Structure 1
Amino acid sequence: MKFWFWISLFLIFRPMRTEERNFRVVIEQVNISNVDTNVYRNLSCELHQINNRSYLDSSHIFKYTIRDLSVHAVLDFWKLNSKTKMKLYDVQFDACNFLENASKNRLFNVYGQSLKKHANMKFKCPFLANVSYEVHNMTMDEQDFPSFVPLGKFRSLIEYLTNQKLISRFIATGKIMPYATDPFKVLQ
C-alpha cells in the first residue's frame, strides 16, 4: 500500500516540478562602478545575449585581503503597463555569512545557487589579494522561480562595502517577458 502511495505522489508532483515556465528573465543592461580604486586591482562585468538568454561574466581581483564584506541589495519591480514601483526588497547583510549559509529568502537562494554553479572557485571570506574571483556564463534559470511570475521590468542594485565604506556598485536592469514553451505556438 505504501509503495503505491509514493508512486502516485511521484506521478502527481513530478510534472509540477518540471513544468516549463512561460516567462523568460532577460537582463538588458549592467553598469558597474569601481567606487574605491584602492580596493580592486581589477573589477569587470560583461553581459552577453545568446539564444534569448542573458549571461554574465565578472571578475574581481582585490589589491589586499578583504575580511569584512557586506552587501546592500535593492530590487525594484514595475508590473507590465504600470508606472507604480514595487520594492521587492531593500536589505543590507554580511556577505561572508550569506556565502556560508543558506538564506531564508527564495530570491537570494536562487542567486546564491547560480553564483556557486558558475564561479571558478568557492567564494568565501576572507577574499584573498591577487586572486581572480570569476563568474562565467551566469544566468537566471526560470525553473528556479515559482511557476507564476508577473511580467514587467526590474532594476537590481547591489553595493559592496568593506568596513562600512562603499567599494563598488552594480546596477542591472531587465524584464520578465512572455516566453512560448511550445515551439509551434505562434504568439499574437
Structure 2
Amino acid sequence: MSVYLWLLLISIGVVSEERHFKFIFDRLTVKHFGEIVEELNYSLIQLNNRSYISANLLLKRDMYKIVLNTTMDFWNMDNKKTRLYRMRIDPCIFLEQIHKNRFVNMFTKSLFQHTAGQLTCPLKGKFNYTLNNWYMDEMDFPAFWPFGTFQAKTDISMDTKKTFNIMLRGRVAKK
C-alpha cells in the first residue's frame, strides 16, 4: 500500500511542477474576405508577463460548408523547423469529435475555455462569437517544452471561397 501512496505523491509532484517557460504571442493578423462579416474586432495585449487575445465576430448570415486549412510550425533555437500539425478539416466534424493530435487537443481546450457560448455548426449569423483574454496556460503542457518561435496559419473557406485568414506568431521563452 505504501508503494501506491509513494507513486501518487510523485505523480502529484510531476503534474504540479512549475514550468520554466512561457508562451508569448508577438503578432496576430486576421483578414476577412467577402460579405459575410458584419463585425470583427480583435486585440493582442501583453499584461503581467502574459499574452492575451480577445476578439469578437458577428456574421451577417449562417455559415455552412466550412473548410479549415491550418498549420503550425515551430523553430527551435538552432532554427530547425518542425511541423507540429497540418490539417484540412471540416470544423463542424472537428467540433463533434476528439482530435488525435495531443497538441491540437491542448490548444483547442485552452481556446474553448475562453470562448463565450458554445461553438456549434452551422456558425450562426447575428450571433456575437466572443473570445475573452485567451492565453496558452503553460500548466496544460508537458513540464519540458523547448524554447523557440512558432507560427500558426489558418485559412477558413466557405462554399469554396476564402473567407478568413488568421496568422499568429509567437515564441516560447524562458520564464
Q: Shared fold by TM > 0.5?
A: yes
State the aligned residue count.
Answer: 175
Partners of 1:113 and 1:49 in 2: CA distance: 21
Aligned to 1:51: 48
Structure 1 CA distance for aligned equivalents of residues 146 and 49 of structure 2: 18
1:35 maps to amino acid? F
Q: 5+ unaligned residues in a row in structure 1: which ranges?
A: 180-188
- C-alpha displacement at 1:8, in angstroms? 2.3
In the alignment, structure 1 residue 97 sits paired with structure 2 residue 93: yes
- The structure with the greater share of residues assigned to strand is 2
Q: Deviations over 1:23-80 (max 9, x none)?
A: 10100010111122x1111122210111111111111111111122221111111111
**How do residues 16-95 of structure 1 correspond to structure 2 at under 5 angstroms?**
16-36=14-34, 38-82=35-79, 84-95=80-91
1:126 aligned counterpart, secondary structure:
coil
Q: How big is each residue's C-alpha offset from its partner over 1:82-109, in whole Å with a ceiling of 9 and x where there is no partner?
A: 2x43322221111112222221111211
Letter in 1 for 2:137: D
Unaligned runs of at least 5 residues, structure 2: none
TM-score normalized by structure 2? Answer: 0.93
**Equivalent position SS for 1:61:** strand
Q: Which runs of 4+ in 1 moved over 3 A?
A: none
Identity %: 29
Bigger Rg over Cα: 1
2:125 is aligned with what amino acid? A
Counterpart amino acid of residue 116 in structure 1: F
2: CA distance, partners of 1:50 / 1:165 = 37
Once superposed, what is the RMSD of the aligned Cα atoms? 1.4
Q: Secondary structure at the match of 2:116?
A: coil
Q: In structure 1, what residue type is equivalent to 2:20?
A: N
Contact kept, 8 Å, 1:32 with 1:44, in 2: the verdict is no
* One-letter amino acid of the counterpart of residue 148, structure 2: G
